[in-house]
Amino acid sequence: AVDAVSGRFYVDPDEQTIQSITAFIKQRTLDLQALDALKGKENITTDGRKIKIFANIGDRKDVESVLENDAGGIGLFRSEFFYLGRQEAPSEEEQFAHFKEVIERMAGRQVIIRTLDIGADKKVDYLGLQEEENPALGFRAIRICLHQPEIFRTQLRAIYRASVFGNVGIMFPMITSVEEVRCIKEIVREVREELISERNPVGNPELGIMIETPAAALISDELAKEVDFFSVGTNDLTQYTLAIDRQNEKLSEFYDPHHRGVLMLIEMACKNAHQNGIWIGICGELAGDLELTKTFVDMGIDELSVSPAKVLLLRKAVRML
């Protein structure tokens, strides 16, 4: 017998084990039916607070799962996977077609595309990245985009052209300063004006940033004045706040996303977002941590974005608060 949930394999199970597995299957079926019944229901707490529950994806093939699980939108479209496993950067037309397909299939539900988030830990020869001792603190994400603007502009052109086909947001990773955001906005303005001058239809996507460094959280009051939304990347925020490389197995016991310091930074960003009239979401692993759902709702987090398979579980948790 195989238990794919817990990853166990039973050789020649006895009668008691078979009965236990059979009972588990029956209960599992009932649980899945109960979750399925939540499709089409609102993500609303017992006291009337509404929370957006979106899904994270890395490829257009994931959209089917997003729709099957009734997510309200895509809160994180990881665009970097389109750059991997190839000899040259994807063209504007390739990216445009890729984004357009996802946006159209979502049929008006918001799609938030994260711009290229990659570093020296990924082998992408055409970017010319040199090996680094600590790539997590090195030349990555928005730093690469600002240093290689032709790559960045091509991606932005594709997104802006595709944005006319639905409800789109763009978010920029690894932000640490207001100056970075203003530089990004200037490039965005130039790209949009260039497309318009070429008579290309363009949309007007929301522009947001990832809050995944302590610096961004600490100056979130200033950053909130520059953008339309925040999205907290809890994986990196935890890593940078606790000074722990999450790829280092020797440090895994010290990697604590529930650390009070991490939660305080999230709460600070949430408060500053709302004081400046913008919304804030969470798209890291903590978004799907049901032990923290009430904490995030009480903070005032507006959106939680999780893997498609966790959407209905999170909806159930929210509706029970």
Query: What percentage of the chain reaches a pLDDT higher than 90?
Result: 72
Asked if pLDDT for residue 247 goes beyond 80, the answer is no
Beta strands (DSSP E) in the chain are 2-3, 8-9, 52-57, 74-78, 111-114, 168-172, 206-211, 229-232, 279-282, 303-306
Pick 213 or 130 by higher pLDDT.
Answer: 213
pLDDT confidence of residue 4: 72
Q: What is the DSSP string of 35-76?
A: HHTTTT---B-TTS-B-EEEEEESSGGGHHHHHHTT-SSEEE
Q: What is the DSSP string of 59-127?
A: SGGGHHHHHHTT-SSEEEEEGGGGGSSSSSPPPHHHHHHHHHHHHHHTTTS-EEEEP----TTS--GGG
Asked if pLDDT for residue 112 goes beyond 90, the answer is yes
In the three-class reduction of DSSP (H, G, I as helix; E, B as strand; rest coil), residue 223 is classed as helix
Q: Give 255-265 pLDDT, tens digit per residue.
A: 898 999 999 99
Give dist(CA 172, CA 179) in Å, integer. 13
Record the tokens describing residue 6, joined without a space: 């817990």
Helix axes 234-242, 260-275, angle to 10 degrees: 120
CB environment 35-70: b (16+ within 10 A), e (fewer): eeebeeeebebeeeeebbbbbbbeebebbeebeebb
Q: List domains and CATH numbers for the chain.
A: 1-37 (no CATH), 43-319 (3.20.20.60)
DSSP 136: G
- The answer to whether 281 touches 75, Cβ cutoff 8 Å, is yes
pLDDT confidence of residue 272: 99
- The answer to whether 217 touches 237, Cβ cutoff 8 Å, is yes
Inter-CA distances, 307 with 25, 161, 172, 281, Å: 23, 27, 20, 14
pLDDT band with cut points at 50, 70 and 90 for residue 140: confident
pLDDT band with cut points at 50, 70 and 90 for residue 29: confident
Q: How remote is the C-alpha of 192 from its chain's centroid?
A: 24
| Of the listed ranges 11-25, 83-97, 226-240, 270-284, the one predicted with least confidence | 11-25
- The answer to whether 124 touches 85, Cβ cutoff 8 Å, is no
Strands 52-57 and 2-3: unpaired
Helix axes 15-36, 311-319, angle to 10 degrees: 70
Asked if pLDDT for residue 186 goes beyond 80, the answer is yes
Pick 90 or 32 by higher pLDDT.
Answer: 90
pLDDT confidence of residue 121: 65
pLDDT band with cut points at 50, 70 and 90 for residue 311: very high
pLDDT confidence of residue 120: 55
Query: What percentage of the chain reaches a pLDDT higher than 70?
Result: 98
Strands 111-114 and 168-172: parallel
